[in-house]
Structure formats: structure tokens, C-alpha cells
Amino acid sequence: MTIMKNTIIKLASISVACAVISACDSDFSNPVGDQNFNSGDADFTNFVSVGDSLTAGYADGALYLHGQNNSYPAILAQQFAKVGGGNFSQPLVSDNLGGLLFGGVANPAFGNRLVLNADAALPGPVPEAIEGDPTTEVIGSGLNGSIFNNMGVPGAKSFHLGAPGYGNAAGLGAGSANPYFVRFSSVAPDATVIGDAAIQQPSFFTLWIGNNDVLSYATSGGIGEDQTGNFDPTTYGPNDITDPNVFAGTYVSLVGAMTANPATQGMLINIPDVATIPYFTTVPYNAVPLDQATADILNAAYAPYNAGVAQILAADPDQVAKRTIVFAAGQNAVVILDETLTDISGVNPPATDGLINMRQATAEDLLVLTTSSKIGTLADPNDPNSAWGIGVPLVDADVLIPSEILAIDTARTAYNVTIQAAADADSNLIYVDAAALMAELDATGIDYGTGFVDSTYATGGAFSLDGVHPTARGYAIVANSIIDEINSGFNANVPRVDPGSFTAIFVK
């Protein structure tokens, strides 16, 4: 029995040794989650986010659940919650397809999100709408009357946010209402986005508006008007550039509405350069590969045109050089229409029937993303010489020419001056330079420690397949950038997120 007792004592002492040893099995000396995260001088108890598609979490050409759940405001709110932030509600759509129903009928203008078809049998990966029947209803969604912290409305321009009736279904046909806001506007027919946001009396807000004031003009290839000088936005078309004074007046009133309580804090996010997003950087101006034989045939075909241009514009050698079309073996610039060229199509008698305002593109032109599936296809299926961009010029909507780019950038720069001035005027408001972030993604990309993203279309990881909106991973990069500004501006220590834990593009 003594031996047995000794055995127990000895085993027990081994157990104690083990227990002591286990106690040494401590955590990291500086564990994640225990780094004195705090909100500093910021008050995140009631966070409201106002803006357009970027704020809504729109991606891949649609607003779908995964995008909303990974919108930069949702990411911010999730991080704010770790330092005292409150609940954050979003007007979630019904599915991960993203298409919209209008009274039960699918609307092809609001289709499903894009996924990448990477089939090796294709000439290259192509984005395609994901298959499935959308279930998100615009009219009678059941959301109207509720309050949402995320007041991002895809498609909204600055002056839309304060426009009464922007959420009134009756205005959908006339285009005065936006289906995304119709889904979740408060009950009153004249409810405004900014009104529904301000009534929540946020303690903290983000405002990122003005992108569409230039972007719709840009993505449509500049087919709209530059409305600079026209102070009545009700006369603007959907693809026009908003007058900078209209933007300034609107912006100041939006900020005023959000800061009715002077203690309200906020982040004012500026407008990126369209030339830094893949929608305009993916298709090169010299997208046409040719061999010598084909180049010779094309040059012969363009010889009468070149001769006609040389003859009629003999007094303007610069323009002759610009308009003369020459192909060679290798990569060739596409042929585009340029409405800013001198119109010689009516010169009588024309040397040929083709003296239209065309030229070959240069590095100064930006081809839109959709031309990637257009260049080289036949404008006339029965005419083998009608390849877009080669035999037939790309049209105005396919390309931003330098004058259009200048108009966009002039307006954008003015908007950003307004945004920065608004931030400078109120110590509770901080300017976020999203333009610099997008420029960095475009120029060098961003290494976030466990991975890398840049603006390369489809493979870069930062931009979704619509070429305009970030991926969830890209929105995480945006959120981190905003968090950095919050931390420095409000003496806070809000934790950043790991972009690597967010998705990039979806492959079919």
C-alpha cells in the first residue's frame, strides 16, 4: 500500500510540474487585439455613411450582398465596433446576383454581377454576368421607412443627394428617381438621401460624393456635355459633367446638413482621377497587332484617304500628320473618330467618300474597357474590311480624347478644392485623399504585408470586373486608408483590417 501511495504522490508531482509548465504556455508578448485600440477623440456611436455606388459597396457592375457586406463603410463600422462604435445597418439586397426587379420584372439595365470566364478555350478571360434570376425588388422592397446607416446610392451625383423625389417610384420612368434609392428611401415621396442621412443625427459620418459628376461622362466616352457654366443641374443629361460651382454649392449644403450639430465629426473623401482606374487603363491605344502583309493591305486601302487629307489640309501640316493613317508590322494604334478635328467631310468635291474626322489614337487617348471586346470585330458582318478600330473608326463613346480628359480633370480638380476647403473649414472634418490612393494603386500597387494589389484589370485584385469599382479587397484598402486618417486626425487607434482576408474577383 505504501508503494501505491508513493506512486500516487509521484504521479501527482508530475502533474503539478506539468501544470506549472502549462502556466508558462503564455500568449504573445504583444498579442493582436490587445494593442490599446481606442477611438481617441472620435465618437463612433452613430456612424452614417453618405455617397454613391462606392459607398454602397457596388462592385462587378452590380449591387449584391457580398459587396454590401464588404463595403468600405461596413468594414469601417466593423472596426469602429471594436472601439465603441454602434450598430450599422445597410439596405441589403436580396441575393448575391445583384440584378434588380421592377415590379417583379427583371430590368436588363440593372443586370447581375460580373464573374470572369477564364476558360482557356477563349482568346482571353472575359467578364460575364453570373447566371440566375434576381430577386431584389425595387418597388415595395419592404425597406422604405426604415433607417439605414449606409446611405450610399449607386449612380447618385452630388446634386441628387438633396433632390426631392429621388426615391419616389413615380419618378423612375422620367429618370428623376433612382431605383436604388427607391428601394430604401424613407416613406415621404419627397424624401432626400441627405435628409434621410441627416435625420439620424450621426456622431460620425463619411461623405464620398462627386464621382459620378464626372464619371458618367468619362465611362460614356465623353458623349455627354461639359456643363461648366450651366448652373441649373435640372437641365443636365445623365452623362454630363457637373458645373464646379453647382458642385461647390451642393457640397457645402450637404456638409451643412450632416453637421447641423457642430460636434459631428466626419471624413470628406475626394474624387479620384479616372485615368487611374482600369476602365480607362486596360485597353492600350495601340491595341492592334498586325503583320507586314496586313499592314500593307490596310495602307493601300487608306491611301486615297491619306491623299485627300494631304490635299485639302495642305496648309496645316500638323493636322495632316495627325490624320494620316499608317499601319506597320507590330502593335498599331486604333483608328478613332475625333469630333474636335476640322470637319472636312463636306469639302466639295471630296477626293474620296471617306474624309471623316478620324485619326489614329495616341497615348494621350483613353480607350474604355468595353472596346476590348469590340476592337477587331466587324462593324458590318458582311464586310471583312469593317473591323472596328482598323477598317472602321471607333466612335466617340469608345474613347476619351485629350479635350474630354481635360474637361473631366478640370472639373474634378475643382471639386477636390471644394472638398478640401470644406474639410479645412471645420476641425471636426478630415480630408481623405482617395485620389492619391487610386493613383498609388495604379502606379505602383500596394503591398499590404501578406499580399499585393494593384489596378491591373481582373488580376490586380483591387478592382472588380466593372473596371470602376473596387473589389472587397480594394474596399478594404480604402477602409484602411480612411482608418489611417481617422487615427492621425482624431488621435485614435482604430485597428486596420487585413485586405488579404477579403475577396478579389470571382471566377465563373
Residue 83 binding other proteins, by CB under 8 A:
no
Could you tell me which residues come within 8 angstroms of residue 78 by beta carbon, excluding any fewer than 6 positions away?
88, 497
Please state, in angstroms and rounded to a whole number, the distance separating the CA atoms of residues 295 and 329.
6
Q: Minimal distance in Å, beta carbon 289 to other proteins?
A: 21
Residue 508 binding other proteins, by CB under 8 A:
yes
Residue 442 identity (one-letter amino acid): D
Q: Could you give the C-alpha distances from 164 to 185, 196, 213, 239, in angstroms and in order?
A: 11, 11, 18, 21
Number of residues that bind other proteins (CB under 8 A): 55
Residue selected from 1, 19, 109, 263 as contacting other proteins according to rule CB under 8 A:
19
Q: Minimal distance in Å, beta carbon 12 to other proteins?
A: 10
Residue 315 binding other proteins, by CB under 8 A:
no
Residue 30 binding other proteins, by CB under 8 A:
yes
Q: Minimal distance in Å, beta carbon 79 to other proteins?
A: 9
Of the two residues 74 and 130, which places its CB atom closer to other proteins in the complex? 130
The neighbour count for residue 394, using CB atoms within 10 Å, is 25
Q: Minimal distance in Å, beta carbon 49 to other proteins?
A: 21
Q: Minimal distance in Å, beta carbon 68 to other proteins?
A: 13
Please state, in angstroms and rounded to a whole number, the distance separating the CA atoms of residues 421 and 311.
53
Residue selected from 3, 263, 293, 363 as contacting other proteins according to rule CB under 8 A:
3
Residue selected from 15, 235, 331, 444 as contacting other proteins according to rule CB under 8 A:
15
Please state, in angstroms and rounded to a whole number, the distance separating the CA atoms of residues 252 and 207.
12
Q: Minimal distance in Å, beta carbon 92 to other proteins?
A: 16
CA dihedral 332, 337, 340, 343 (to 10 degrees): 120
Report the site for other proteins in 444-503 (rule: CB under 8 A): 448-452, 459, 461, 473, 495-501, 503
Say if residue 349 is preceded by a cis peptide, omega within 30 of 0. yes
Report the site for other proteins in 102-161 (rule: CB under 8 A): 115-121, 130
Please state, in angstroms and rounded to a whole number, the distance separating the CA atoms of residues 355 and 391.
13
Q: Could you give the C-alpha distances from 187 to 147, 168, 193, in angstroms and in order?
A: 10, 9, 12
Residue 35 binding other proteins, by CB under 8 A:
yes
Please state, in angstroms and rounded to a whole number, the distance separating the CA atoms of residues 86 and 276.
35
Contact residues: other proteins, CB under 8 A: 3, 6-7, 10-11, 14-19, 21-25, 27-33, 35, 66, 96, 115-121, 130, 448-452, 459, 461, 473, 495-501, 503-508
